[in-house]
């Protein structure tokens, strides 16, 4: 069993794609064990994406991530990190495989609808960033 953090980004929430994303998670047997909607502050967004601090897109990315509410979830299942990444598709929607969330819905390399942890250590950090132990079921 593995856990990963999923975010439906401000573009996904604003465009009414939350139901579609959640449906795909459920259909693919990624169990949602925690979920909430919130709007990050700029400093929370910077802390979350700290690994990208030196990247040219950092300012724009963190501005985008605070532009509206997001939905954060913990997903659980066998190989949950890898399976969720497959469902999302490549960061750049133009390179994403057919049938993936980003291929179907992303409009931009930044506004790519969803986020998912990229490995077990990142997942532990990202889950702890948003949830405490009392908020996690299952
Ligand atoms: P995410 O998986 O949340 O991780 C970092 C985010 O930075 C990425 O999705 C995109 O939203 C955003 N981003 C913007 N430009 C780039 C880029 N050139 N390469 C990678 N990520 C980018």
In short, whether 112's Cβ falls inside 6 Å of ligand 1 is yes
For atom 20 of ligand 1, which residue has the closest CA?
91
pLDDT digits (tens, 9 = 90+) for 117-133: 999 999 999 999 999 99
d(Cα 66, Cα 121) in Å, to the nearest integer? 24
pLDDT digits (tens, 9 = 90+) for 14-51: 999 999 999 999 999 999 999 999 999 999 999 999 99
Q: Count the neighbouring beta carbons within 10 Å of the beta carbon of residue 95.
A: 11
Answer whether residue 37 is part of any domain.
yes
Answer whether residue 138 is part of any domain.
no
Answer whether residue 137 is part of any domain.
no
Give the CA distances from residue 41 to residues 18, 90, 92, 113, in Å, rounded to whole numbers and listed in that order: 21, 27, 25, 19
User: DSSP labels for 25-94?
Assistant: HHHTT-EEEEEEEE---HHHHHHHTGGGTTSTTHHHHHHHHTSS-EEEEEEEETTHHHHHHHHH--SSGG
Answer whether residue 64 is part of any domain.
yes
Cα dihedral sign for 14, 116, 110, 40? positive
pLDDT digits (tens, 9 = 90+) for 46-89: 999 999 999 999 999 999 999 999 999 999 999 999 999 999 99
> What pLDDT shows up at residue 98?
98
Full domain range(s) for residue 65: 2-132
Tell me if residue 115 is catalytic: yes
- Check if the beta carbon of residue 90 is closer than 8 Å to that of residue 84: no
Catalytic residue among 9, 85, 111, 115: 115
Task: Name residues whose C-beta falls within 8 Å of residue 33's C-beta, 6 or more positions apart in sequence.
Answer: 3, 74, 75, 76, 136, 137, 138
Number of domains the chain is built from: 1
Give the pairing of strands 70-77 and 2-8: antiparallel
Q: What is the CATH number of the domain that holds 58?
A: 3.30.70.141
């Amino acid at each position: 069993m593995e856990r990963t953090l999923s975010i439906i980004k401000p573009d996904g929430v604003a465009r009414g794609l939350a139901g579609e994303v959640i449906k795909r998670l459920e259909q693919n047997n990624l169990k949602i064990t925690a979920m909430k909607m919130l709007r990050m502050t700029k400093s929370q967004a910077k802390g979350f994406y700290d690994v990208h601090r030196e990247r040219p897109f950092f300012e724009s990315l963190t501005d985008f991530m605070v532009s509206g509410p997001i939905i954060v979830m913990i997903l659980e299942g066998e190989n949950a990190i890898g399976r969720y990444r497959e469902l999302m598709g490549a960061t750049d929607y133009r390179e994403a495989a057919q049938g993936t969330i980003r291929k179907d819905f992303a409009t931009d390399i930044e506004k790519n609808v969803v986020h998912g942890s990229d490995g077990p250590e990142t997942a532990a950090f990202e889950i702890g960033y948003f949830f405490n132990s009392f908020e996690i079921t299952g």
